[in-house]
Amino acid sequence: MNDQLRRAPIGVLEATPDGTVTAINETAADLLGVDAAASTETPIDAVFPDSVDNAIPAAFGEGASVPEERSIEEYYPELDRWLSVSIVPTDGLVTVYLADESAHRDRRRANERLEDELDRLTVLNELIAAVLADLVEASTRTDIAETVCEHLGETDIYEFAWFGERRVGGDEIAVRASAGATGRTFDRIEECLGADAGGDLPERRAIETATPQVSQPIPSDRSVPKPVRRGAFADGVQSLLAIPLTYGSSVYGVIGVYAADKDGFSERERSVFATVGSIAGFAVNAARNRTLLLSDAVVEVTLRVADAAAPLVATADDVGGEFVVEGLVSQEDGAALGFLRVEGVSPDRLADAVAEDEPIALSRVINESDAGGLLEIELGGRTSLGTLLAHGATVRSANFDPDRGRITVELPPEEEIRRIIDAASRRFDVEVLAKREEQREIQTVQEFRDTLRDRLTERQETVLRTAFLADYFESPRGSTAEEVADSLGITAPTLLHHLRASQRKLLEEFFETAEPEPPGVGR
Residue 307 pLDDT grade (very low, low, confident, very high; cuts 50, 70, 90): low
Q: What is the rounded (10 degree) CA torsion for 422, 424, 425, 427? A: 130
Q: What is the mean pLDDT of residues 424-446?
A: 72
Residue 99 pLDDT grade (very low, low, confident, very high; cuts 50, 70, 90): very high
Cβ pair 23, 7 in contact under 8 A? no
Nearest-angstrom CA–CA distance, 76 and 96: 16
Q: Report the candidate in 258, 261, 270, 281 with the shortest Cα–Cα distance to residue 144.
A: 281
Q: Would you tell me the crossing angle of helices 141-153 and 102-137 to the nearest 10 degrees?
A: 150
Q: The pTM is what?
A: 0.54
Residue 434 pLDDT grade (very low, low, confident, very high; cuts 50, 70, 90): confident
Q: Which of 288-297, 301-310, 472-481 shows the highest mean pLDDT?
A: 472-481
For residue range 144-168, what is the model confidence (pLDDT) as tens digits? 888 888 888 878 788 899 998 877 5
Least confident of 74-88, 238-252, 319-333, 344-358: 344-358
Task: Report all structural domains of the chain as residue ranges with CATH numbers, in order of start.
Answer: 3-100 (3.30.450.20), 108-292 (3.30.450.40), 298-439 (no CATH), 445-511 (1.10.10)
Cβ pair 189, 258 in contact under 8 A? no
Q: Is 328 helix (H, G, I), strand (E, B) or coil?
A: strand
Q: What is the mean pLDDT of residues 410-415?
A: 69
Q: Report the candidate in 412, 399, 375, 410 with the shortest Cα–Cα distance to residue 305.
A: 399
Cβ pair 87, 67 in contact under 8 A? yes
Q: Is the predicted pLDDT of residue 206 greater than 70, yes or no? A: yes
Phi-psi region of 428 (alpha: psi -120 to 50; beta: other; left: phi over 0): beta
For residue range 455-480, what is the model confidence (pLDDT) as tens digits? 788 888 888 888 887 788 888 887 88
Q: 481: exposed, middle or buried (C-beta count within 10 Å: 0-12, 13-18, 19+)?
A: middle
Cβ pair 79, 30 in contact under 8 A? no
For residue range 333-392, what is the model confidence (pLDDT) as tens digits? 556 778 888 877 777 777 777 655 566 766 677 777 767 788 777 777 677 787 777 776
Q: Is 513 helix (H, G, I), strand (E, B) or coil?
A: coil
Instruction: Identify the pLDDT of residue 90.
Output: 83
> For residues 430 and 229, which has the higher predicted lDDT (pLDDT)?
229
